């Protein structure tokens, strides 16, 4: 998975009043049977991987009126979807066949407490046997839409 596989962002015109449009999309797919705390935890973990590999999707630092600084965030929305276990399995196969940048979260990761154990838990399971509970993908809009086909927007 190369950091150069995704399409470039749309260009911005400083001071322009038209909304910025992006050629890319960030999407997260969550398994529908997760508890609320799990949905939030999985989403946070999944998107953290995207910003580290694609610095161009992270915007500028924020600053409030009192000159207090805040960390930058993604420059574009993160769309969150949900679906069945089968929907996740299908989306995973699609994202692999398209070689899109992706992050995954398996049910095994709820029992671990650190990055080393997380990576070992994923490494211990064959691709076809992963018990997926979350998947994040970044790439050209059309390709991401095809990966997410069959999923519904998270309520």
- pLDDT (tens digit, 9 = 90+) per residue, 61-72? 999 999 999 999
Instruction: Please give the helix or strand (H or E) that residue 36 lies within, else none.
Output: helix 36-53
pLDDT interval class at 152 (50, 70, 90): confident
Q: Measuring CA to CA, how many Å separate 30 from each of 23, 67, 128? A: 23, 37, 18
Q: How far apart are CA 29 and CA 17, in angstroms?
A: 32
Residue 5 pLDDT greater than 90, yes or no: no
Q: DSSP characters for 53-122?
A: H-GGGB-PPEE-TT--EE---BSS-EEEEEE-HHHHHHHHHHHHHTT--EEEEEGGGGG--SHHHHHHHH
Query: What's this model's pTM, rounded to 2 decimal places?
Result: 0.84
Across the chain, what does the average pLDDT equal? 89
Here the tokens at position 132 are: 């997926």
The pLDDT, as a whole number, for residue 153 is: 86
- Section 3-32 average pLDDT: 69
- Section 46-73 average pLDDT: 93
pLDDT > 70: percent of the chain: 90
The pLDDT, as a whole number, for residue 29 is: 97
pLDDT digits (tens, 9 = 90+) for 71-96: 999 999 999 999 999 999 999 999 99
Residue 9 pLDDT greater than 60, yes or no: no
Residue 148: is it exposed, middle or buried by C-beta count within 10 angstroms (0-12/13-18/19+)?
A: buried
């Amino acid at each position: 998975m190369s950091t150069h596989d995704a399409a470039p962002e749309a260009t911005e015109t400083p001071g322009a009043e038209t909304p910025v449009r992006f050629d890319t999309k960030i999407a997260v797919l969550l398994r529908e049977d997760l508890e609320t705390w799990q949905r939030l935890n999985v989403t946070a973990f999944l998107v953290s991987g995207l910003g580290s590999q694609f610095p161009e999707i992270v915007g500028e630092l924020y600053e409030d009126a009192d000159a207090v600084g805040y960390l930058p965030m993604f420059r574009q929305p993160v769309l969150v979807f949900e679906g069945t276990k089968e929907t996740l399995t299908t989306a995973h196969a699609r994202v692999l066949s398209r070689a899109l940048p992706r992050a995954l979260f398996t049910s095994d990761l709820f029992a671990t407490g650190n990055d080393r154990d997380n990576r070992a838990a994923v490494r211990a399971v064959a691709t076809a046997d992963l018990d997926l509970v979350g998947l994040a993908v970044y790439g050209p809009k059309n390709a991401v839409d095809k990966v997410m086909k069959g999923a519904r927007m998270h309520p």
